[in-house]
Structure 1
Amino acid sequence: MTSVPVLRRSIRESWRGLIGWSLGITALLFLYLPLFKSFGTGGQLQAVIDALPKELTKTIGYDQIATGAGYAQSTFYGLTGFVLFTIAAVIWSSAAIGGAEESGRLELDLAHPIARVQYALEQAAAIVVKVLWLGLLAGLIVWGMNEPVGLGIDPPHIIGASAALAGLGFLTASIGLLVGALTGRRSWASGAAAGIAVLGYVFQAVAKQSSDLEWLNIFSPYAWVYHQSPLSDGVDLGGLALVWGFAIVFAAASAFALQQRDVTG
């Protein structure tokens, strides 16, 4: 069996933090999802949304919130869950290479029989494991609460929505890995990873304001997977493939970048 020391150590050292993120996601879902049932019929919730400016409801994705699928998409997958996954991805990826180099740990690790490419790829794999776990957890909770809360979501759609959310998290992380490998600086990695996530969200939000601006969705990974509601209509498989494909390419590029650059402690 091939040894994966970096992957194993990363998972071992971060399991407490992963539990914290898991509890945060669980708390959010148990806070938001039962509220849908408390509104009774969709008309009550729609009345609340109608009282808000239309531009605001479109920007934050609340225009479909009167349905169970739209509610779960708007409150968790498209907003609070996206924020939590982004924060986790930024923290994990900026520490993986850029942070390790700043602390001197990377130089020490590479003094052992661990190739640079192996190091970067195993760090990426560790992040994949963590974002997939969080996506699986979120999907299981939504599935478990689907009938009791009356969301009426087609169960296969939950799988697609969770895969999309995990993919957005990994794409954010892959940018952090790449910039960390290129610069050796945690702050640059954090800024780049967070910047990509924020820009993707902003581009799709602006695109919703006018048909003349819809071309901005081309540059928004968020729009690639969320331009149609995954929970209502099923995930766009092409957009899902783009998100995961670019994430894998950037992760591989981080391995190449680390191999080419001098590492300093």
Structure 2
Amino acid sequence: MGIVEGRTAVVTGGAQGIGWAIAEALVSEGAKVVLADVDGKAAQAGAERLGGCDVAVGVTCDVVSADDVDRSIQTAVSIFGSLDIMVNNAGITRDATMRTMTEEQFDQVIAVHLKGCWNGTRLAAAVMRRQRSGAIVNVSSISGKVGMVGQTNYSAAKAGIVGLTKAAAKEMAHHGVRVNAIQPGLIRSAMTEAMPEHVWNQKLAEIPMGRPGEVAEIASVALFYASPLASYMTGTVAEVTGGRFM
């Protein structure tokens, strides 16, 4: 049996990148998964790749909308019978220096990352507290620990997710619900590999392990947090960075 056998998960931003890798890891260890993504067609295609309606369903979800998030959660409950794992992963970037960043760019990033994570955490917790069990995994970033040039919006949102996680963990612990966060560092993806070579090399030089991470290495930590292996862990933040900014 897999370590999350018989459990049901919702993964936001689950159609690609880290979200997809997390969904894949959960399914490989026995979970049923709802892929919730703003790109509904990609979510449905991803669900088919995971094995189709017996193990995965794709739904359209804009995490800024509480109704969309709630609909994703209710899909998990109605089709698979429970909500045991919630992974709040959806995110965007709108990088710019403070001098050039628009108010809209700031608001968009705060809304998707921070409000989206709050929507997912509070709505999942409402279901899980009735079950008196559940695991919520929030995806932050090392940018929320150290701050990055050109990311006042993103760094603020990702730092906020850490605070949200710790506050929610305190509120939900006595209901049997665990809430933890992951802070990825430089992870190999289509977005990061599109960086100018000198920027990539600069970031790589900051990593003691001397290489970028892979999406599967974030997924394995999410799987751990979601599983009984982390049964006595709540309110924690795992830095998955290869030692960068330790």
- TM above 0.5, yes or no, is no
TM-score of the superposed pair, with normalisation by structure 2: 0.34
Q: More helix per residue: 1 or 2?
A: 1
Structure number with greater Rg is 1
